[in-house]
Amino acid sequence: MTTAQPIDAHVRLDTHPTHPSAVIAVLTGSQARIPHMGLEAADWTAVADKVLVLVRIDHEEPYWAEEAANHLTAGGITVEITPRLGEAMDEEWTWASYPMPWCTRSEVREVSNAAQKIHDDIRHGQLLIHAHAHDGHTTVAVGTYLGRNGKSVYLHGEDHLRQVVDTFGSPAGALLAFEKAHAADMRRGPAPLTDTERAAAEARTSLARTAAEPETARPEPETVPAYLADAGDHDALLDTFFTAHGDWEKWRTWSDQTTHAIHESQTLRIERVHETHPRETAWTVAAYETPVSDRTWVLTATGATPAPVLQGLLDHLADGDGWDTVVGAQVDEKTVAAATQPLSKAGWKHTVDGRWIRWTSPTGDTGVQFDAVAAQHPSQNLATWTVWAGPGLDRPAWALTASPHTPSSLLADLSETLAHGTGTRRTNTARRPHSVRLRPSPPAISPPTTGRTISPGL
């Protein structure tokens, strides 16, 4: 069997300095143009002379980087893979709460790769989006592929779950069908970028800026309202909590995916699920009348909950006051007023819409909602209170929910943080959202500086 002749080109693959899963390629050698063309054909983006980046909305960059490395090596090009990227390539993971659980890992990758192609077609201007809407669960859109005999398509879903669910022979037919189904919520043009899409775009532009201006210092964090602050390191917050409060016991599951904090009274417990998607539940706080009774109240928070909000919650729990509520007592106007007094004093807009009572910040980018109907069923621990921040209540960047008997003192502290608290935010705060580890990654057996090198013919 003959092998390709070596080419004077070297490709070094490494993880992106700020994006959680993106991969960068640095090319050297007199024939570097050869791997450069090959990587661009595989949808790597050139951000500087001999520097390319692979950024995907399905977070499968390490897999496709390894595929690229194999192709380059087969073509006679030496490829170096850094140890940290090699670890990411070896990691086995699956999406948390994936809506198609019957799919195998390879089938999941096929679905997400199809979604990636749709995203790329839109980004490159090959698929023109005419209109979009929200169907109550996710974003839907209608568009047409440009070029001769281009088909029109109906799209359903966001990011790695976007799919073509129907095709049409003409834009007019597609728009008529879309308007018939979504007339009330239909909006012109493409939907606003998702958090994942924004992070991907930032990964490309930030690397390009760094390459163009190597001396530019990293932007300093800006001070913002607490509800707009970065999530920070939730695990570090919990570790600090354990260190400062010896009356809480730490217990971590065998799979290393969940940590439980249990108060010595056994009547208050915190569950922290690690490596969750920013919009999925990462924290659950539950209180019990006795160690063996049913829950008295429960509170949940998603993975993107800002650090100041979470810190305020942990501080309240550590104080040891205000845990208990009167079991069976109804939530009345006095309880609601006490819980939201800081918001009212801060001038948040107060509205009533049927069963919903809402408080919205002056800027409209965060709010608190009280469900009067859910409050009448305290034994079911329904989400009676919802705190959110982001584009809207139906599509929050982060959210916190609480059941009817959640102590009004805790809710008042939370309201105080929302109304007057501050925190810091950087321009790029993306983190890898997908990790649900199936098995521990094997230790990297490679030199500490150069990683593994794949040479042609080996």
In a shared domain, residues 267 and 357: yes
pLDDT score recorded for residue 453: 64
**DSSP per position, 4-18:** PPP-S-EEEEEE-SS
For residue 3, tell me if it sits in a domain: no
In a shared domain, residues 278 and 371: yes
In a shared domain, residues 158 and 280: no
The answer to whether the CB of 20 falls within 8 A of the CB of 432 is yes
- Region of 389 (left: φ > 0; alpha: ψ -120 to 50; beta: rest) is beta
In a shared domain, residues 321 and 387: yes
For residue 293, tell me if it sits in a domain: yes
Phi, psi for 270 (deg, rounded to 5): -120, 130
pLDDT score recorded for residue 110: 94
Residue 31 CB coordination number (10 Å): 15
Based on the structure, what is the number of domains in the chain? 3
pLDDT score recorded for residue 331: 80
Boundary (domain end) residue, out of 189, 217, 242: 189
Reduced to 3 states (helix: H, G, I; strand: E, B; else coil), residue 423 is strand
For residue 433, tell me if it sits in a domain: no
In a shared domain, residues 255 and 333: yes
Boundary (domain end) residue, out of 171, 189, 207: 189
Residue 84 CB coordination number (10 Å): 12
For residue 209, tell me if it sits in a domain: no
For residue 431, tell me if it sits in a domain: no
The answer to whether the CB of 179 falls within 8 A of the CB of 197 is no
Q: What is the pTM of this model?
A: 0.50
In a shared domain, residues 179 and 260: no
Judged on CB neighbours under 10 Å (0-12, 13-18, 19+), 137 is exposed
- How many helices and strands (H and E) does the chain possess? 10, 25
Q: List, as own/partner pairs, every contact residues 437-444 make where C-beta atoms lie below 8 angstroms and the sequence separation is at least 24, other chains included.
A: 437/91, 437/92, 437/93, 437/255, 437/256, 437/257, 437/275, 438/92, 438/93, 438/94, 439/92, 440/256, 441/87, 441/90, 441/91, 441/92, 442/90, 444/83, 444/86, 444/87, 444/90
For residue 215, tell me if it sits in a domain: no
In a shared domain, residues 27 and 65: yes
- What is the chain's pLDDT, residue by residue, as a tens digit (458 residues)? 444 566 889 999 999 988 889 999 999 999 999 999 999 989 899 988 899 999 999 999 999 999 999 999 988 899 999 998 998 888 877 787 788 989 998 999 999 999 999 999 998 888 999 999 999 899 999 999 987 678 999 999 999 999 999 999 899 999 999 999 998 889 988 998 888 898 888 888 876 655 554 444 455 678 999 999 999 899 899 989 998 888 999 887 655 678 899 998 888 999 999 888 888 899 999 998 888 888 889 999 999 999 999 999 999 998 865 455 544 456 888 989 999 999 999 999 999 999 999 999 998 899 999 999 988 887 777 889 999 998 888 889 999 999 999 999 999 999 999 999 999 987 544 444 433 333 233 323 233 334 566 655 43
Structure tokens given for 197:
């899409």
pLDDT score recorded for residue 216: 44
In a shared domain, residues 410 and 264: yes
| Host H or E run for residue 84 | helix 83-90
- From the list 421, 402, 417, 420, the residue with the least C-alpha distance to 335 is 402
| Residue the block writes with tokens 């094997």 | 442
In a shared domain, residues 263 and 332: yes
In a shared domain, residues 40 and 162: no
In a shared domain, residues 270 and 416: yes
Q: How far lies 208's CA from each of 40, 65, 197, 202, 203, in Å? A: 15, 19, 17, 10, 9
Q: For residue 31, give its domain range.
A: 10-91+441-454
What is the Rg, in whole angstroms, of the alpha carbon atoms belonging to the chain? 25
Boundary (domain end) residue, out of 189, 216, 239: 189
Structure tokens given for 151:
């088909």
Reduced to 3 states (helix: H, G, I; strand: E, B; else coil), residue 74 is helix
- From the list 372, 370, 367, the residue with the least C-alpha distance to 349 is 367
**DSSP per position, 273-322:** ESS--TTSEEEEEEEESSTTS-EEEEEEEETT--HHHHHHHHHHHHHT-S
For residue 204, tell me if it sits in a domain: no
For residue 212, tell me if it sits in a domain: no
The answer to whether the CB of 337 falls within 8 A of the CB of 452 is no
- From the list 388, 237, 228, the residue with the least C-alpha distance to 306 is 228
In a shared domain, residues 387 and 325: yes
The answer to whether the CB of 20 falls within 8 A of the CB of 51 is no
